[in-house]
Homo-oligomer: A and B are copies of this chain.
Amino acid sequence: MTGAGETDVGQAMYELASSLFPICRSLTGQGVRDTLDVLAQTVELQRRAVATGTPLFDWVVPPEWTIRDAFIKAPDGKRVLDFSASNLHVVGYSMPIRRLIDLAELKRHVFTLPDQPDLIPYRTSYYGRTWGFCMSHTKLMSLPDAVYEVCIDSELKDGQLDYGEYIHRGRTEDEILLTTHICHPSLANDNCSGLALLAMLANAMRGRDTRYTYRFLFAPGTLGPLAWLSANEDRVGRVKHGMAVSCVGDGGGPTYKRSRRDNAVIDRVMTHILTGEGEQARSVPFSPYGYDERQFCSPGFDMPFGLFQNSAFGTFPEYHTSADNLDFIRPEHLARSYRIVTDAIDILEEDWIPISLNPKGEPQLGRRGLYASVGGPSSGGHSTMPMLWVLNLADGRHSLIDMAERSGLPFSQIIEAARRLREHDLLRPG
């Protein structure tokens, strides 16, 4: 399904991620809208907006945050911290402030990473009604004892929560839901990578004839999924498979976090795919801390919804720091992630339940040219085994996914075997 070669896809994803990187995103505000504008050049997004104050289950859409400038100025007038240098410097949703404070008080408002002294941390305080800066520990330690001018030129006022949605209509109303969070500022892996992957994938779906209807959600973490869920409660039952996609540009993993159900079809499909993705690949059980999956897997919904990443969030040193930059993600890693998601889609699209038309004994593959005509051990080799497995399990109780799981053979070989067998009228769909 990838169409373009992996490298092209990876390069294109990398370029899209690069163009998204500089934008200062947050839970709400202009940065989110600017990001949706960029994505709209790749995929025809439907824009959604939810007004400040709107209740979303247990939550309420907060005021919209605007940030124009921020700095810490030394007595000599030099900016020792400047928002324009990195949008990580300001704690997300900081209240406006402008005054003179001494170093001791300043330190109470500055976040650093003493164990990674040269990195700037990423911090937010959406509901804390406070203000703060983030800087490298080295820089903070270098500040002389003095009176500093701190300024955060921000605003919190009624506005809206923005998100984007792309729907690809399939032959059925059964849906596959793919989501990615749009609320992080200049962090490349988390999550310009996820935005780029789903945008490219959504674009690739155009004009494709599919069984499933596909819904792509580009939305702020937590509140975005809650906004969609509260607006689409009646649709939840149609979602047969779902995944959040984030942190898909680094060289770790790949990692799939299973749904709360633990053995949903999407869980089994992704786990099956990852068995072929090398030493580092991991299928890990659900836990209620993470990204969008925590909302879709809440007990009131309990959807078949997992999380796909390369390195799992929180496990790599660059996570939520200024080191999560455009050097940290690579086109080849993005391309592999893209392929894995498309492989999953292909499997879900192509899965079916074959029923053997010759269930009694093994059909004679030889006279149909489906079997090495001169016997011997090699007859059990790659070309024949998938056909033998499909025929043996074609009792109407096994889907192709079940067959790939039981045989341990790649789904691609099972689907191909089933196709050939059906061509020869040895199978019918159940």
Kindly state the separation between the CA atoms of A58 and B299 in the bound complex, as whole angstroms: 51
Which residues in B have their C-beta under 8 angstroms from that of A289?
A: 379-380, 384-385, 388
A327: min CB distance to chain B, Å: 21
Instruction: Flag whether A56 is at the interface (Cβ < 8 A).
Output: yes
A376, B299: Cβ atoms under 8 Å? no
* A127 touches which of B111, B313, B373 (Cβ 8 Å): B373
- Residues 358-374 of A, flagged 1 when their CB comes within 8 A of B and 0 if not, give 11111110110000011
B295, A57: Cβ atoms under 8 Å? no
Kindly state the separation between the CA atoms of A409 and B111 in the bound complex, as whole angstroms: 30
Kindly state the separation between the CA atoms of A364 and B58 in the bound complex, as whole angstroms: 6
Specify the chain B residue showing the minimal Cβ separation from A319. B377
* A389 touches which of B59, B288, B295, B395 (Cβ 8 Å): B288
A392, B314: Cβ atoms under 8 Å? no
- Known interface pairs A320-B377, A374-B124, A388-B288; A394-B363 also in contact (CB < 8 Å): no
Kindly state the separation between the CA atoms of A386 and B297 in the bound complex, as whole angstroms: 16
- Known interface pairs A57-B360, A288-B392, A358-B58; A377-B314 also in contact (CB < 8 Å): yes
Specify the chain B residue showing the minimal Cβ separation from A387. B288
B124, A375: Cβ atoms under 8 Å? yes
Binds B, one of A212-220, A221-229, A329-337: A221-229
Which residues 100-147 in A have Cβ within 8 Å of B in the complex?
A: 111, 121-128, 130, 132
Instruction: Flag whether A302 is at the interface (Cβ < 8 A).
Output: yes
A91, B123: Cβ atoms under 8 Å? no
* A298 touches which of B295, B320, B362 (Cβ 8 Å): B362
* A226 touches which of B127, B299, B361, B367 (Cβ 8 Å): B361
Which residues in B have their C-beta under 8 angstroms from that of A374?
A: 91, 111, 123-125, 128, 130, 132
* A376 touches which of B57, B294, B320, B379 (Cβ 8 Å): B320
Kindly state the separation between the CA atoms of A155 and B400 in the bound complex, as whole angstroms: 44
A62: min CB distance to chain B, Å: 10
Instruction: Flag whether A77 is at the interface (Cβ < 8 A).
Output: no
Instruction: Flag whether A356 is at the interface (Cβ < 8 A).
Output: yes
- Known interface pairs A288-B389, A289-B380, A374-B91; A360-B124 also in contact (CB < 8 Å): no
Which residues in B have their C-beta under 8 angstroms from that of A363?
A: 58
Specify the chain B residue showing the minimal Cβ separation from A227. B361
A225, B361: Cβ atoms under 8 Å? yes
Instruction: Flag whether A301 is at the interface (Cβ < 8 A).
Output: yes
Instruction: Flag whether A192 is at the interface (Cβ < 8 A).
Output: no
Count of residues in A whose CB is under 8 Å from the partner chain: 65
B392, A361: Cβ atoms under 8 Å? no
Instruction: Flag whether A421 is at the interface (Cβ < 8 A).
Output: no
A340: min CB distance to chain B, Å: 25
A393, B91: Cβ atoms under 8 Å? no
Which residues 387-413 in A have Cβ within 8 Å of B in the complex?
A: 388-389, 391-395, 407
Which residues 157-214 in A have Cβ within 8 Å of B in the complex?
A: none
Which residues in B have their C-beta under 8 angstroms from that of A91?
A: 374
- Residues 218-257 of A, flagged 1 when their CB comes within 8 A of B and 0 if not, give 0000100110011001000000000000000000000000
A250: min CB distance to chain B, Å: 16
B59, A299: Cβ atoms under 8 Å? no
Instruction: Flag whether A300 is at the interface (Cβ < 8 A).
Output: yes
Kindly state the separation between the CA atoms of A123 and B124 in the bound complex, as whole angstroms: 72
Kindly state the separation between the CA atoms of A313 and B384 in the bound complex, as whole angstroms: 17
A356, B260: Cβ atoms under 8 Å? no
Specify the chain B residue showing the minimal Cβ separation from A59. B364
Which residues in B have their C-beta under 8 angstroms from that of A392?
A: 260, 288, 294, 297-299
B364, A395: Cβ atoms under 8 Å? no
Residues of A participating in the B interface, judged by any CB pair closer than 8 Å: 56-59, 91, 111, 121-128, 130, 132, 222, 225-226, 229-230, 233, 260, 287-289, 294-295, 297-302, 313-314, 319-320, 356, 358-364, 366-367, 373-377, 379-380, 384-385, 388-389, 391-395, 407
